[in-house]
Structure 1
């Protein structure tokens, strides 16, 4: 009786120890690096790598490479073209109040790096900087979120 209990206990512990690393890996957020730059040639840019992740938690490491300008990292589920995003030419900004599901990090100081985590559903997203004039100066990129495994 006692030996049967010991065998069952060890078998249960062995099973749990085999599953534990799988659970830990499954809950780890997908790492993404975002670089916000004024560019050496005066052209602004926003780069994101990788540009495709699986649905679930995503950890963005956002680096403002500018020496002088604040930048933002905004993320929006968006399936239309960039030209259909509500944009106010007077403020030179996307109209955030007209958008659903917008998340992000605002006013990132020059040379600053932050880490932000978001849980993303499957779909197409646009990431952009919404400081005045920056969106129209190439500070946007696409992110594809595919279904989880």
Structure 2
């Protein structure tokens, strides 16, 4: 792994970050037509047991930042359901990949979840996404050997 991307800070997202964060999620291929990422972002910020953490630094999905503010170059959503923590929407801008930022975002989200009282963390990865499965395996995540079932309302 190369050195960490310089001048990057990780902290809580604000409503003003919504457009940049959702653009990052879209560019990373994390969105699906049946989920509204704008609503997911907004809901995470107003729910006491969830958050979106962002990495701010030079660059960003469009290569620019507004004014002198650092751009959003990474994000992760975390939520605690009272039994376990969950990670969602981990994304790093293309120019910031391969420098340990994804790992740092996961560590920050795990720390936030631990602070909420979560005894463990889970996440879902699409079966065909072997690269992301390998990323999480390198961080100590294991296949939970379960089937995830769902139902939409």
Pick the TM interval, shorter chain: under 0.3
Greater relative contact order structure (CA < 8 Å, 6+ sep): 1
After TM superposition, the score normalised by the length of structure 1 is: 0.22
After TM superposition, the score normalised by the length of structure 2 is: 0.21
Q: Which of the two has greater strand per residue? A: 1
Q: Which of the two has greater helix per residue? A: 2
Larger radius of gyration: 1
